[in-house]
Amino acid sequence: MRKLYIYQLLSLLVFQLFFGHLYATTQVFDSVRVEYEYEVNTVFGLNSKYADFSPVWHYTDLVFASDREWNYNNYGESNWNKSKKINLFKVKVSSYKSDSVVFDKPELFNNLLLSDDHVGPLAFNGLNEAVFSEVNKSKSKKSKVKSLNPQLYIIAINGKKITNKEKLNFIDPNYAYSQPTFSADGMKLFFVSNLPSDLGGSNIFVSERLESSWSNPILVANLNSDKNDMFPVVKGNKMIFSSDRDDGSGGLDLYESIYVDGKWSSPQNLGPSINTPFDEFGMVFNPNGKTGYFSSNRENGNGGDDIYSFIKIEKVIVNNNLDVIKGQFEYMHLEGSPDKMEVILLDESGNIVSKTKTDQNGNFVFNYLPTNQKYTIKVNQEGDVVLTLFNGDGNAIFLSNEKRRICI
């Protein structure tokens, strides 16, 4: 598919403690740094033998682009090969499991957007506005060959009604525009284009919303490389995008940049837990901000591109050699501390090293541990809890207050 446009909350809280180096570091204290990994899982009921990619949320529907087959009669899937063109589909989550997501049967997102040309991906600005790409077939004056440049269109959405479809005012049909995403406030539109620039490949551009139009696009500073930079997705002050730049794993890798003090930070590779020698792109987060979906053509998939789920795992790396792990759990929204919680310590092979229970104040401790090893602390606990980790002097070195899997 690249050639065309060159979880869910866990009731089981998991905490890992280890000493060593990983990826994407944020320094917290001299002895502690925060890093991130991604647990990737397959999904069921969504992917086809064709290309399925670039998911986004609209209400409770996951909307994605696909060149799968579709049917005029029910606007859903069928075995009838009507068209091998990209169109927009939607699907609802049927059920969540600890390591997978099951979806209902996909169907066309909206038959008013159906086309025999490529349509999608798209981006929503709230619930009632969207921008999407659609291939524009036009003949050059010097050649009878049609160009297949995707162009960006804006639409208004009212239930199943699609109105006010307009091509964005800055579009030049001689160039390609695709893979749109809005800023958090909806006032900026980021997209990918082969517009002229000093850099090679495809690049990420931005246009600002004016009173009744959009500004001329400019290259996004600090993000782009001399390779292909594509599939931007904005979440708050962060942008996730894909690039085949030289420091990657091969193919398109996922990168993250943060908007700070009026500029985008140097992009950071999301690391080998989610990136492979194949293409990874089109990431979207669930409302909880720590789980979501992305696209990849990695091995053992259903088709050319498939959609996978992920869990973002925070890891706190303790640099000094501890032979004691001390911690305390407290309720996030309730009074008091959770007592008599069973806390289990596992080694790297998943074998139980030790068990203990929290005291009346939610404290726990594991003593006489071999240093320079990786441990997993498992806690079967319903509800929201806060974990504080202490060093040997009793000083807090880490505080976590988020409902998700956390690795320490």
Q: Domain ends where: 313, 339, 355?
A: 313
Q: Is residue 325 located within the same domain as residue 293?
A: no
Mean pLDDT in each 10-residue stretch from start to end of the chain (408 residues)? 33 37 41 72 92 95 91 52 79 78 91 86 95 79 66 94 95 95 96 94 96 95 95 95 93 96 94 96 90 94 91 62 72 73 77 87 82 68 61 65 40
> For residues 267 and 240, what is the distance between their CA atoms, to the nearest angstrom?
9
Would residue 7 count as lying in a domain? no
How many CA atoms, within 13 angstroms, populate the side-chain half-sphere of residue 13? 21
Average pLDDT across the chain, whole number: 80
Domain region containing 191: 38-313
3-state secondary structure of 76: strand
Q: Is residue 309 located within the same domain as residue 359?
A: no
Note the pTM of the prediction, 2 decimals.
0.77
Is residue 315 within 8 A of residue 37, CB to CB? The reply is: yes
- DSSP letter at 112 equals G
> For residues 14 and 73, what is the distance between their CA atoms, to the nearest angstrom?
48
CATH number at residue 162: 2.120.10
Q: Is residue 293 located within the same domain as residue 334?
A: no
Q: Residue 226's CB: how many other CB atoms inside 10 A?
A: 13
Q: Residue 328's CB: how many other CB atoms inside 10 A?
A: 21
